[in-house]
Structure 1
Amino acid sequence: MHSELQSPHPDYRQWLADIKGRYRQVQLKAAMVVNTAVLEFYWELRADIVARQSITSWGQGFLTQLSADLMNEFPGVSGFSKRNAEQMRRWVTFWSQLPPIAKQPASQWMDILWWSHLAKTPNACSPCFGRCNDTKRTR
């Protein structure tokens, strides 16, 4: 039989602290991989929504139906509400009208941000967006 250490040796405590730290790093890496994959999915879904609405005649209820179907299929996922679908559509429409921007190193931080943080950008930028379009037209 093994007996528990009465007073753990300092080397053991240091080794245990190292194991805990390494495990937490692995958890963080895994979470970042998952978050990146989810963000990529949402980015593709945004583009799909805009593309489908431009080539089909599914009507005004399209986003409501899509939202209901996805929430029914994935009940624990909060990102499929009608409001989110509208925000996704607005996001793609906003960014597709701007000139392309070269990828910056800081854009890597986007991989750890959630969609809800990004969804507010087109609304917040709407006043300046008109000015951006005016500036683009005068060049």
Structure 2
Amino acid sequence: MSKQPAPSYPQDFAEVLRHIQQTRQRVLAQANTALIDLYWRVGQTLSHKVAQAGWGKGVVTELAHYIAQADPTIHGFSDKNLWRMKQFYETYQGDEKLSTMLRALPWSHNLAIFSRCKTVDERQFYLALAAKERYTFRELDRQISASTFERAVAAPAKLSTLLRV
């Protein structure tokens, strides 16, 4: 009998682990996109109801209570969060480019960007930067607090090419 080479378990195991990790990343990205789409649709509905049916704070608070009572397993739909979803929709509704970009980032990133950035250009800058650099929420928050956009606009030639969008 010929002698068989030693099994390559470490390589094989690493390959299986890579498959698991890659699939997990894809699933998380798909789940994030679905959540952002949900928040968009909820925001759109609220925006239209406020404008056309005269919904106000009281009705939105009732909606939040209704959701919590109808399905106690659903979290994240307090009246405050519902208003944020409305603001999210209204901030990006007319801008197809930005509304596509925002789906690449988690809700916390989007919340920081649309609530802290004043202009379309600034929002676009941070959306692109956070997606390109795969920033954590803390790093994105640090970049916004450090006025990276303002510095990029004021002195674009001095910034690294990584920061230019």
| TM value normalised by structure 2 | 0.57
Q: Distance in 1 between matches of 2:74 and 2:109?
A: 16
Residue 32 of structure 2 contacts residue 103 of structure 2 at CA under 8 Å; is this kept in 1?
Answer: yes
Pairing 1:114–2:106 present: yes
Q: Is residue 2:39 matched to residue 1:42?
A: yes
Q: 1:26 aligns with which of 23, 26, 51?
A: 23
Residues 61 and 118 of structure 1: is their aligned pair in 2 closer, same or farther, counting only changes over 3 Å?
A: same
Residue of structure 2 in register with 1:5 after alignment: none
Name which structure has the greater RCO, CA cutoff 8 Å, separation 6+: 1
| Aligned sequence identity (%) | 23
Contact 1:39 1:111 in 2 (8 A): yes
Q: Which amino acid aligns with 1:48?
A: T
Q: 1:114 to 1:100 in 2, by over 3 A?
A: closer
Structure 1 stretches of 5 or more lacking a match? 1-8, 130-139
Secondary structure, aligned partner of 1:78: coil
Could you tell me how far apart the structure 2 residues matched to 1:45 and 1:120 are? 19
Measured after TM superposition, the shift of residue 104 of structure 1 is 9.6
Q: Is the 8 A contact 2:43 2:82 kept in 1?
A: yes
Q: What is the number of equivalent residue pairs in this alignment?
A: 115
d(CA) in 2 for partners of 1:27 and 1:101? 28
Alignment partners' CA distance in 2, 1:52 and 1:11: 62
Which structure 2 residue ranges, 5 or more long, are not aligned? 1-5, 121-165
Determine helix, strand or coil for the equivalent of 1:75: coil
